Amino acid sequence: MPDPCSLPGSLRASTFIGFRTLLYKEVLRFWKVNFQTVAAPVLSALLFLLIFSHVLDRRVTVYGDVPYTVFLVPGLIMMSLLQNAFANSSSSLIQSKITGNIIFVLLAPLSCRVFFAAYTLAAVLRGLFVAVGVCLVSAFFVDLPMAQPVWVITFGILGGALLATFGIIAGIWAEKFDQLAAFQNFLIMPLTMLSGVFYSIHSLPPVWQKISHANPFFFMIDGFRYGFFGQSDISPWLSLAVVGTCFAALATLTLMMLMRGYKLRG
C-alpha cells in the first residue's frame, strides 16, 4: 500500500476518492442488512433491559439514589456499541479474505492509514447506529439524564474506534469463521460482561475491584456512564487516558500488520 504523502497531487485526490468509496462500501455492507446488523442488537439490549429491570429495579440503587434500571441503560448502550463495532470490522475482513475479494482492496492505490481509517469509521458508525437505537427504545421505559453529553460522545466514539481496531486485528489474524468466533466468545464477550455493564464495581469484594481495573472495557463503560450521571466509579479523566492509550497501542499494531501485509498478501 503506497503512502499518500509520497504521491503527487492527482494521486492524493484519487486516494481521497478511494477512502470515500471504501467507506461507502463498508457502510452499505451493514446497512443493506440493517434488520440483522442494527435492529437485532437493539432487540437484544431491550430484552436485557426488560429482564434485569423486572428482577432488580426495586431491590438495587446505585450512586445513592439512581434506580437500577436507569443505571443499567448506559451500560447496555455502550455494550451494544462496542460489540457491534467489533463485529463490523472483523466480519468484513474475514469474509473478504475467505471469498478472495480482499485482493481488490489491496490492489487499489490506498495507504494503510486510509484502509485503517475507512474500516474503523464504518465500524464506529454501525456501533453508533445501534447505540442510538438502544437509547431511543430505552426512552420508553426510563427517563435517562444527560449530565455531561461531551463525555458521552467522546467515550462512545473512542470506545467504538478501539473495538473497531480490535476487530481489524481479529479479522486479519483469523483464517476461518470459527477462529473469529473463538476470539469473540472467549475474549470480547467476557471482557464486556465483566466490565460493569450490569453492576457498579463498588458492589464487588476488594480483590475483584482490583481485577476489574485490569479490564480496559471497564474504563470505557465507566467513563461513558459518567456522561449520563455525572458520577462514576473512578475519574473520567483516568478512564479517558486508559482508553486513549489502548486505542493508540492497538492502532499502531494494526498499522504495522497492514504495512507488512500480515495474512493479507500471499
At residue 4, the pLDDT reads 40
- Structural domain includes residue 148: yes
Residue 69, domain member (yes or no):
yes
pLDDT at residue 193 is higher than 90: no
Residue 34 lies in a domain: yes
pLDDT at residue 55 greater than cutoff 70: no
Nearest alpha carbon to residue 162 among 130, 180, 188, 140: 188
pLDDT tens column, 3-43: 443 445 455 667 788 899 999 999 999 999 999 999 999 99
Residue 56 pLDDT more than 80? Answer: no
Q: Specify the pLDDT at position 5.
A: 38
Confirm whether 266 is domain-assigned.
Answer: no
Residue 59 confidence class, pLDDT cut points 50, 70, 90: low
Look at 68 and 116; give whichever has higher pLDDT.
116
The predicted model scores a pTM of 0.91
Lowest mean pLDDT among 11-25, 114-128, 129-143: 11-25
- What average pLDDT does range 233-249 have in this prediction? 95
Tell me the average pLDDT across 141-147: 90
pLDDT of residue 194: 86
Q: How far is CA 17 from the centre of its chain?
A: 26
Cell of 123: 465500524
According to DSSP, the β-strands at 61-62 and 66-67 are antiparallel
Count how many Cα atoms sit within 13 Å of the Cα of residue 87 in the half-sphere of its side chain. 19
Average pLDDT, the chain: 89
Q: Is residue 77 part of a domain?
A: yes
| Rounded Cα distance, 266 and 260, in Å | 11
Does the residue 265 lie in any domain?
Answer: no
Between residues 212 and 239, the one the model is more confident about: 239
Closest Cα to residue 141, out of 38, 49, 47? 49
- Cell digits of residue 81: 456499541
> Residue 181 belongs to what domain range?
4-260
DSSP 204: S
107 located within any domain: yes
| Number of domains into which the chain is organized | 1
Instruction: Average the pLDDT over each of 72-81, 121-130, 203-212, 218-227 and give the range with the smallest value.
Output: 203-212
Query: How far apart are the C-alpha atoms of 74 and 166, rounded to whole Å?
Result: 22
Percent of the chain at pLDDT above 90? 61
Residue 201, pLDDT above cutoff 90: no
Q: What is the pLDDT of residue 109?
A: 81
Q: Is 232 part of any domain?
A: yes
More confident residue, 64 or 48: 48
Give phi and psi for 58, each to the nearest 5.
-90, 0
